[in-house]
A and B are shown apart, each in its own frame.
Chain A
Amino acid sequence: MDARLLALWDALTAAGIDPEREARLRRELEGPMDHGDLWAGPEPEYTPGVDVLRGVVNSPYAFADLTFLQDMAQPVVSLTARLGTLDDLMERDNQREIDGFPRKIRIGKLVKPGKGGTSKVRVVPTTVEEKFVHDSTLAAPDEGGGAGGSGDGEEGEVIGEQPVRPEQGEGEGTGPGGGDGENHEMESNAYDLGRILTEQFSLPNLQDKGKKRSLTRFTYDLTDRHRGFGQLLDKKATLRQIVQTNIALERLGQGQEIDPTEFLIAPRDRVYRVLSKEKDFESQAIVFFLRDYSGSMSGKPTEVVVSQHVMIYSWLLYQYAGQVESRFVLHDTEAKEVPDFYTYYNSRVAGGTKVSSAFRLVNEMVQKENLARDYNIYVFHGTDGDDWDSEGKECLPEIETMLGYVSRLGVTVAENSYGKSGETEVQKYLEGSGLLDDKKHLIRLDVMSETAEEGRIIEGIRRLIGQ
């Protein structure tokens, strides 16, 4: 434990904490203490001399003649074919809801975005056909587990090692020739996901703050003028031009009677309007994504939070055509800004929790860069609700400062399953502060369980950014 953490810990224990909370905090402290790349994981180390096994297939049904005997590759459905049906599928799904049945299409796997700003999200319309089937993960003992094997080896002898994570180019559990269509995935950018999400919500409280960047895409309008030729004759401007010309030619003097039939008209007098690309100037926005990456966030809560933030991020990319600036902040007991979504998404959890650190950092950034003057500022914060600062003594003032400039602060609490529902510290002190009611238009809190499904996560976004 470093000195700073130790000091924090001493201060906390000196103030006295109940044993249950102490145990929880200890767990965070005893966990790994470094933030690495979440998904990279350590490389497998094989024991020399032991076979490396890959792709163990133990279901007889994973095999089929065409792929196994005839060695045919599994066909990959073309991207365009899939894309064409995406809208139909979504429409069909909406109709289901109207007809009184739950939605059935899930908009897909959210796979980590690429490094260095090439944010890629895989959108695969997926569904599942529900039936009564046995759950083989929960079986009574003595049901005959394990896999088949053949060859030499004493009972108890290790005969092979398999990497825990499938390696690149190796589908998970892919059968011979791949019996399971793992490769059908359509890769597309966040755009598609955003397109689907965009029908569901828009940014709240947008205010006019300078005209530096546009939030919408270009519009086309007959605004430019062109003399001589063009698409639409601007009669008024043309007449004015003719009058000018004739004055210059002294065919029209002051006090003279005007006879329009006597006017000379030069070809360049005709003024036309032409179609032109216009930037639709609107307010600009900056979005801060804040994520708790303390030890207690390990596993599901992180997944929920990052999935939600991926969705918000994708939606912003689509809706505002990449014109929204995004900033990413991670925190445990200290906060730091990270350069891109990739790092934000993939950093491994460790350490203790101080929510206030993140808000403080954002406040500092906003002040230092004077962002509040030019931007609509949105802050989305994801946490599991644990906070060492259990009463929010440090956090609440920071939030109040923040509410002075933000257009919306959305806090997502993905509750850990080991805690009591509705009892997390963040939720308690936020609710206790009265901010959620007093400044309802500026701050929203959404609490869901760490096992929340995609539908719930989308619903959560709607709550966070709803008007």
Chain B
Amino acid sequence: MQLIDQHTKAIMEGCKERARDAGLSFDDQSLEYVVTNRDMIELSPKVMIPTMYDYWVNEVEVLKGQGKYELYPGNPFETVINTRPAISFYNDNNPDWLNVMIFYHVLGHIDFFQNNLYFRHTWDDDFTGQALSDKRAIASLRSEHGRWVDYLIEFARSIDNLVDYHGLLSCLNRPTCGKRSNRLDYYFDVFLQDEKKVRVNAYVQEIERYNTCMRTHGDDGEAEFFKVVGNKYPEFVALFEKAGVAHPRQGTDVMRFILDHSEFLNREENAWMKSVLQIVRNTSLYFQPQIRTKIMNEGWASYWHETLFMRDDRIGGHEVDFARVNSSVTSMPRVGLNPYALGMRLFEFAEDAANKGRYSQEFLGLLDSHQRRKFDRQTGLGQEFIFRVRENLNDFLFVNMFIEQDFVDLNKLFVADKVMDEQRMVWQWYVKSRKAEDYKAMVKEQLYHPPHITVDLDKTGEDTLFLTHKFEGKPLVSDFVHGTMLGVEYLWGGKVTLETTEVKSIKTPDTPPTLPGMAPEPAPDPEIEWQRVRYTMKDRKLSKGLI
């Protein structure tokens, strides 16, 4: 793996200037490497991050297929890595004009990484550096604990999709988060009202006394206030501790919960295990935004490589080459879903609509289709609008907001489905629906969505960890339950229970026969009856019971 030569680097720098002029914003530094096939062999199992920790599974062909992208949120063949400085990889035999186009694409990605708020938690660190120190930490632990480190990695990875990524984001984007004192809340909300049952008058006096303390002592006000409380109610401290609000237990982040509350992991001799879990958890959190912004990210990069390259004088003489490459990347497939094409069209559609002022009360109130079609306020705010979109949305919101009937009609989109013709051994693809809502539902169905599993704090006790799966229309892959729970039990050091929903029975209605010459009749949806079940893993044995 080597850096690109000076000549190519100069091209890249030129691209940066033009991209900045167009409004993109990104750090000055970036690193560009040429990769050969040989490098790819080493890099792809590590999701293109050269300093990722070693793990034996990377050496094995991993069975894929079902749930592939749910299991592995990073695509091993990405060109740009979201690090500081951003790293990007290039084929060693790209011609210059193609590099210009790819550089613009890459700059689109870098701009996206560094401005989209879903990446907020990755902005402050250099992930390659962090990964390198993690790799060293794991290597040194391995020399001490041998294969147990690999078991730990395995078990930690088995729950690395239950890390409450959105919780982390909400903390980062809410400056007050964590600043309010639990002690104060407990004193006024619980202690005085429920424990002491003081009168309103006394309660108001306490509030007044608190306000006085804050006024006179400033930042130390709270401490001063509680000095008096300690004298007046000596039992307060003990009760506060007992109430457990000092260190609130949150069940939304299963991995964090296990780290904090597992009696097994908190033993002194097992302290090293926690660092392994931390590493796996951080790595997972790092990848979370990438998979949640795939359509936007590729769409944004494609939008800019097209826009900027068309303006660039270096396209001269390569217009046809560009058209060919660009159309193969950004054309909508006859059947299938191409994130480059879909994302780019959504951005273009949103820009156009914003230019016409259609994201307004006035337009939304219009019901007449003729008027809607002709509606154009010429605001000229389209580009500003899509810059805000790239900052604030993720794939789900993006798709949900901008796939509308006008968009579907404009691009002649439809939902396709297939029926098998057994006689002729072909799948027949047919147009199932041209409704925007169906198209939207189809795209949403494809989006990454890990199961919503949380710790049930009420049912979790000293020895039992109680997990609840919120059913969202799909069961968990049952083959994986045993292996996953085995790992969780190990990490927790005791019994683990999972409540989830499973198929009770499936009834497939009879398929009406297809008449010759008629359009194929889609197979009717099977009727599925669901039931709630409870898995329990104890002493490495799994049992299941109905609820």
Contacts and interface: CB of A to CB of B under 8 A. Distances in A.
A150 B429 CA distance: 12
A206 to B, nearest CB: 36
Contacts of B329: 68-69
B474 A146 contact: no
A45 B69 contact: no
B474 A69 contact: no
B230 to A, nearest CB: 46
Contacts of B188: none
Interface string A401-421: 000000000000000000000
Interface stretch (B151-159, B169-177, B263-271, B374-382): B151-159
B94 A70 contact: yes
Contacts of A89: 56, 59-60
Contacts of B63: 106, 126-128
A82 B482 CA distance: 28
B105 interface: yes
A391 interface: no
B432 A60 contact: no
B68 interface: yes
Contact of A61 (B91, B448, B526): B448
Interface stretch (B73-81, B242-250, B362-370): B73-81
Interface residues of B, number: 123
A58 B441 contact: no
Contacts of B158: 129-131
Which residue of A64, A69, A105, A157 has the most chain B CB atoms within 10 A of its CB atom? A69
A136 B66 contact: yes
Nearest to B472: A134
Nearest to B434: A155
A143 interface: yes
B424 A45 contact: yes
Contact of A131 (B56, B295, B484): B484
B430 A157 contact: yes
A144 B417 CA distance: 11
B418 A162 contact: yes
A159 B416 contact: yes
Interface stretch (B22-30, B119-127, B406-414): B406-414
A163 B421 CA distance: 10
Given A134-B477, A149-B334, A77 B449 contact: no
Contact of A135 (B37, B48, B474): B474
Contact of A140 (B60, B94, B474): B474
Given A66-B79, A148-B415, A163 B336 contact: no
Secondary structure type dominating chain A contacts: loop
Contacts of A144: 438, 440-445
Interface centre among B63, B295, B444 (most CB of A within 10 A): B63
B425 A42 contact: yes
Contact of A180 (B68, B411, B425, B486): B68
A137 interface: yes
Interface string B143-174: 00001000100100111111000000000000
Contacts of A77: 41
B426 interface: yes
A71 B324 CA distance: 13
A70 to B, nearest CB: 5
Contacts of B339: 60-61, 63
A66 B109 CA distance: 13
Contacts of A95: 147
Given A58-B446, A127-B61, A159-B416, 16 more contacts: A56-B335, A60-B298, A65-B109, A73-B37, A128-B71, A129-B71, A133-B476, A134-B67, A135-B474, A135-B477, A136-B67, A143-B473, A148-B413, A150-B412, A153-B430, A179-B77
18 contacts: A45-B426, A61-B75, A61-B448, A64-B79, A75-B40, A89-B56, A89-B60, A102-B486, A105-B60, A126-B61, A129-B57, A129-B72, A139-B474, A146-B415, A149-B414, A149-B416, A158-B430, A161-B421
